[in-house]
Amino acid sequence: MSHRVSTTDDLEVGTYLEIAEAQTSEVSTRHEALVVEARERDAVAVIDFGSQYSQLIARRVREHHVYCELIPHDAPRERIEALKPKGFILSGGPASVYAPDAPLIPQHVLDSKKPILGICYGMQALAYQLGGEVEPGTRREYGPAVIHVTDPPAPIFRGVPDEVSVWMSHGDLVRKLPSGFCSAATSDNSPTAAMWNGDGVFGLQFHPEVVHTSFGSQLIGNFLTGVCGCTGNWTTASFVEQTIDDLRRRVGTGRVICALSGGVDSAVVAVLVHRAIGDQLTCIFVDNGLLRSGEPARVVDTFEQHLGMKLIHVDAADSFLGRLAGVTDPEDKRRIVGDEFIRIFALEARKLGHIDFLAQGTLYPDVIESTSHDTANAATRIKSHHNVALPASLPFQLVEPLRYLFKDEVREVGSALGLPDEIVWRHPFPGPGLSIRVLGEVTEERLETLRAADAIVMDEVRTAGLYRQLWQSFAVLTPMRTVGVMGDFRTYGNVVAVRMVSSQDAMTADWARVPYELLGRISSRVVNEVPDVNRVVYDITSKPPGTIEWE
């Protein structure tokens, strides 16, 4: 189903909310997250002391097909117990155990008799709370180091060479071991680079979770399987099966809506929910007129034609462009696109009558950032609302089946569900779309110019086989015009910038060292094929100090 809306289809969100609120007065548990129940799957709890590497620990654990959650050190006991953990990993952190407000390991964790692995600060906290001594090292140890594993090796070092390169990042050291513990490895800086209590409790002064520690993944695997007895039953197939089951029970005969953006997260959510409840799901795709070339048609084709979902395709381009007219400030653009999206989404949802649930593609890193004061990263505030989430005031219960997954896990689930590679591996695309890639005022004409140039960039990157290796690649239409010559004529045309970056998580990024031949082909095609463009430049700025997007 496809139709157009414009600025004249007016409905204030407030009015809508009042109506919908009345409809759903019996719904009292709004925004209750989908609770993934601890059934057969093994789990460990990663207790977070605020290390910059905490998320990495969780990812490394998941790579062994063991479910885990990152839980703040001061979380209530029930929160940890609900996970039914088979063991605990204590993260590193910036504190010193002797600082007045030093975060401590919850006593019930120490009393649990379950395996514990303390990493860096986690090891120091273990030593300190179990009666050992910690003190500042004579020098800060930061970067690569070599450790020597004690013979015979503690179970965590099983199968690992006796000399290992590791990554250190600490100031304090364990000076005296707690009673019952022995050193499990030494380094030049410390006789206790690792410790063990002869049973299930270990401390590592270095970081096994970072790639610079060789055999780091094996150390974590040894702890999970050899010590905790986890069997690695957290698999994509089991996730899909359990999630569909949970969704069926939670939704019952209710009706669900889901906003499709064309990106992988909302696509995977929609397919999971559709598998669970079929036509009780309606997807709404708001085409804001700020998408890449061919994108709206692809979304409709995939979800409506191929996957057979109920899809409302709203052509709202006029409405968005109308509101963006004359606007040049990047933050104003973001706000306008975000507000307009909510207005139109609410308008469409209202037309559907009574709706119980809103399915949303929230991912685990968003959950961690919004719940953990320690790991919240100030850098995300440089630009507003990176994650265009619908406001908490919308009158639906939320279902967020991906809220415990990392992006790479979402992609695996998407593949397992049979989504096309084009969606599964699609580069991240910002919510405000091309409005922040047309620098300055956004007009239909300038969008067309950008779309044409961007399509060439994408085509050439794909042909060169580099699409998956790059984090993002795109064109930017600058507000500059420069002089050129074509044939025997002077031209005065637009400058297009090409941006290609490599990154792990968008927090930092580097400009991609792609072959000159690729840049040459892009430049030549853009100048020849896109009217009014006579110059192409390549952005060689890393993040920081630049950002990935130009606005």
Q: Is 434 in the site for ligand XMP (CB under 6 A)?
A: no
Cα–Cα distance for residue pair 245/528, rounded to 1 Å = 54
Q: HSE of 130 in the Cβ direction (CA atoms, 13 Å)?
A: 24
Region from 211-219, 273-281, 416-424, 430-438 binding ligand XMP, contact rule CB under 6 A: 430-438
Is 543 a residue that touches ligand XMP (CB under 6 A)?
yes
CB of 378 vs ligand XMP, minimal distance in Å:
13
Residues 329-358 that bind ligand XMP (CB under 6 A): 334
Return d(Cα 317, Cα 542) in angstroms, integer: 33
Question: What is the 3 state secondary structure string of 5-68?
Answer: CCCCCCCCHHHHHHHHHHHCCCCCCCCCCCCCCCCCCCEEEEEECCCCCHHHHHHHHHHCCCEE
Residue with tokens 């609410």: 346
Nearer to ligand XMP, 250 or 292 (CB): 292
Q: Which stretch binds ligand XMP (CB under 6 A): 171-179, 184-192, 314-322, 543-551?
A: 543-551
Interaxial angle between packed helices 330-351 and 317-324, expressed in degrees from 0 to 180 and rounded to the nearest 10: 150
Q: How many helices (H) and strands (E) does the chain have?
A: 16, 19
Is residue 44 within the footprint of ligand XMP (CB under 6 A)? no
Cβ distance to ligand XMP smaller for residue 107 or 504: 504
Number of Cβ atoms within 10 Å of the Cβ of 458: 19
From the CB of residue 233, how many other CB atoms can be counted at a distance below 10 Å? Answer: 12
Going from the C-alpha of 277 to that of each of 11, 166, 282, 325, 358, the distances in angstroms are 30, 48, 10, 41, 13
313 is catalytic: no
What does the DSSP 8-state code read for residue 504? Answer: S
Tokens 């790479």 locate to 408
* Of residues 120 and 438, the one with the C-beta less far from ligand XMP: 438
Which C-beta is closer to ligand XMP: that of 164 or that of 290?
290
For residue 387, the number of C-alpha atoms closer than 13 Å in the C-beta half-sphere is 17
The minimum distance between CB 433 and ligand XMP, in angstroms, equals 9
Binding mask 291-330 for ligand XMP (x = CB under 6 A): ----------------------------------------
CA distance 343 to 346: 5
- 384 versus 528: smaller Cβ distance to ligand XMP: 384
Of 268-276, 386-394, 519-527, 528-536, the window that binds ligand XMP (rule: CB under 6 A) is: 386-394
Active site residue 228: no
Q: Which two tokens stand for residue 262?
A: 């064309």
- Closest distance between ligand XMP and the C-beta of residue 403, in Å? 17
Instruction: Select which of 65, 141, 170, 209 is catalytic.
Output: 209
Give the residue with the Cβ less far from ligand XMP, 344 or 506: 506
Residue of the chain from 431, 437, 496, 498 that contacts ligand XMP (CB under 6 A): 431
Pick the stretch among 214-222, 295-303, 381-389, 485-493 that binds ligand XMP (CB under 6 A).
381-389
Burial-class residue 415 by CB neighbours within 10 Å (0-12, 13-18, 19+): middle
DSSP code per residue over 245-294:
HHHHHHHTT--EEEEE-SSHHHHHHHHHHHHHHGGGEEEEEEE-S-SPTT
If you search the block for the tokens 């709890």, which residue do you land on?
A: 45
Q: Could you tell me how many residues make up the chain?
A: 551
List the x/- string, 437-476, binding to ligand XMP by CB under 6 A: -----------------------------------x----
Of the residues 114, 298, 386, 521, which one makes contact with ligand XMP according to CB under 6 A: 386
In 3D, which of 236, 228, 272 has the Cα closest to residue 112?
228
Query: What is the C-alpha separation between 436 and 477, in angstroms, rounded?
Result: 10
Of 207, 258, 274, 304, the catalytic one is 207
Question: What's the CA gap between 266 and 251, in Å, rounded?
Answer: 18
Residue 542 in the binding site for ligand XMP (CB under 6 A): no
**How many residues lie near ligand XMP (CB under 6 A)?**
17
> Please, are residues 314 and 344 in contact by the beta-carbon 8 Å criterion?
yes
Catalytic residue among 120, 228, 230, 283: 120
Torsion of CA 253, 259, 262, 265, to 10 degrees: -70
Applying CB under 6 A, the span of 115-123, 229-237, 241-249, 385-393 interacting with ligand XMP comes to: 385-393
Of 310 and 386, the one with the shorter C-beta distance to ligand XMP is 386
Taking the complex as a whole, the smallest distance from the CB of residue 430 to ligand XMP amounts, in Å, to 3
Among the listed residues 70, 213, 197, 87, the one whose alpha carbon sits nearest the alpha carbon of residue 132: 197
CB of residue 386 to ligand XMP, shortest distance in Å: 4
Considering only 141-149, 365-373, 405-413, 425-433, which stretch makes contact with ligand XMP by CB under 6 A? 425-433
Q: Which is nearer to ligand XMP, 350 or 385 (CB)?
A: 385
Candidates 383, 420, 481, 491: give the one binding ligand XMP (CB under 6 A). Answer: 383
* 428 lies in the site for ligand XMP, by CB under 6 A: yes
Q: Which is nearer to ligand XMP, 17 or 388 (CB)?
A: 388
In the window 503-532, what residues touch ligand XMP (CB under 6 A)?
A: 506
Among 234, 432, 497, 536, binds ligand XMP (CB under 6 A): 432
Residue 354 is a catalytic residue: no
Residue placing its CB nearer to ligand XMP in the complex, 57 or 436: 436
Which positions lie near ligand XMP, rule CB under 6 A? 334, 382-383, 385-388, 428, 430-432, 472, 506, 543, 547-549
Question: Which residues are annotated as catalytic?
Answer: 120, 207, 209
